Amino acid sequence: MFELKRIDTWSLAKIYAVTGLIVGFIIGLIITIASLVMGSMMSAAAGATIPAIGALPFAMIGVFSIIVMPISYAIGGLISGVIAALLYNFVAGRVGGVLVDLEKPGTAVPKPAKK
C-alpha cells in the first residue's frame, strides 16, 4: 500500500477544468436544442408565417448558452480543482493521506483465496 500524501494543485485543477468544459458543452447543447424547439413552437402557436423569425430570440439564448456554459463550467472546475487540492493537501498533512494499492502492469500477484 502507498499513501497519497499530496496532490499537485495545478494537475487536479486542469482535470477539473477539462471535465467542467465537457459537461458545460453538453449542458449548453441541451439548452440550445431546447430553446430552438421552444422558439419554433411558440412562433407556430402565435401563427407566424415564418416560424424561424419568432424563434430568433430563443436561438440567441441557444448560441449564448453553447458559448458561455462551457467557459463558465471550465472556470468553475478550475477553481474547484485548486480548492479541492489545497484542502486535500491540508487535511492529508494533518491526518494522513489516502491509502492506495498500486501495481505495475503485468506484475499482478494473485491474492490468496479467503476461507
Domain boundaries in the chain?
2-100
Q: Looking at residue 44, what is its pLDDT?
A: 66
The pTM score is: 0.74
Is pLDDT of 51 > 70? Answer: no
| Per-residue model confidence as pLDDT tens digits over 55-82 | 677 778 888 888 999 999 999 999 999 9
Is pLDDT of 40 > 60? Answer: yes
Kindly compute the dihedral angle of the four CA atoms of residues 56, 58, 60, 63, in this order, to the nearest 10 degrees. -130
The angle formed by the CA atoms of residues 81, 69 and 67, to the nearest 5 degrees, is: 125
Radius of gyration of the chain (CA): 24
Helix, strand, coil percentages, rounded to 5, for the chain: 70, 5, 25
The owner of cell 411558440 is: 42
